[in-house]
Amino acid sequence: MWETISQTPGATFFLWVALGSTVLFTLKLSLSLLGGGHGDMDAGLDAGGDATHMDGPSGDAHGDTPGHHGSGAAFALLSVQSVLAFLMGMGWSGLAARVEWQWPTLPTLLVSGLFGFSMMVMTSYLTFQLRRLNREIPVDFESCVGSVGRVYLTVPAQGRGRGQVEVTVSGRLRILPASSTGDAIPAFASVTVMRVESDGTLLVAPCS
């Protein structure tokens, strides 16, 4: 096999391009997965960036952590991963065209370039979709002021500690710390959110 490649003009070039880009592509992909799935978001050629976000109080009923962020999900054709995908696709297809199919140089370059470009576009699209999955919706906890919630954990009387209430914030049901404006409020009672304190605690009052 190596003898055939070495005797075919241009085949060695495609072989080294294919091998080098495949190794680097695999290494980059592995590092991206180990780094939490952010992939090319830190690559120098990417156009995407972080969107503005709002920090909020404690998490929701599904275990979200404090301070929700929204990250950009812009489509970027040029990135380290997509360029490596282009070289990998071009290298392997060019090698097959020259060695297996015995194509002339010009058709080989055209077909391998088109195949590499398709690999580049596909990789960019998959990266874009992964970013959309990882993107968290910005949360505005002030939006729950005036809404009705349900006491999840008894809210003590004013000045005697905090309980928890279940309330919808930015379209998601969350369990947040709460304090009463007056007497204690038992579990499962309906309450109205009066305001959000500076520490993220909701000030609630029983529904009349």
Q: Which two tokens stand for residue 130?
A: 């992964």
The CA-based dihedral angle spanning residues 198, 200, 201, 205, taken in that order and rounded to the nearest 10 degrees = 80
Express each pLDDT in 187-197 by its tens digit.
Answer: 999 999 999 99
Q: Is 108 helix (H, G, I), strand (E, B) or coil?
A: helix
Provide CB contacts within 8 A for 109, sequence distance 6+.
94
- Which pLDDT score, from 0 to 100, does residue 5 have? 74
pLDDT above 70 covers a percentage of the chain that reads 76
Express each pLDDT in 98-134 by its tens digit.
Answer: 888 889 989 999 999 999 999 999 999 988 888 877 6
Question: What are the backbone angles phi and psi of residue 173, rounded to the nearest 5°?
Answer: -80, 125
**Residue 150 reports pLDDT greater than 50:** yes
- Which pLDDT score, from 0 to 100, does residue 72 have? 45
Any idea which residue has 């070039």 for tokens? 13
Q: Sketch the domain layout of the chain as residue ranges.
A: 2-134, 141-206
- d(Cα 47, Cα 139) in Å, to the nearest integer? 24
Out of 3.30.450.20, 2.40.50.140, 1.20.272.10, 1.10.760.10, the CATH code matching 141-206 is 2.40.50.140
- Evaluate if pTM is beyond 0.85: no
Strand partners, 176: 165
| Confidence class for position 35, pLDDT limits 50, 70, 90 | low
Task: Report whether 197 contacts 175 (CB < 8 A).
Answer: no
When comparing pLDDT for 118 and 33, which is higher? 118
* Cβ neighbours of 104 (radius 10 Å): 10
- Which pLDDT score, from 0 to 100, does residue 1 have? 64
Angle between helix 80-95 and helix 105-134 axes, rounded to 10 deg: 150
Tell me the residue length of the chain.
208
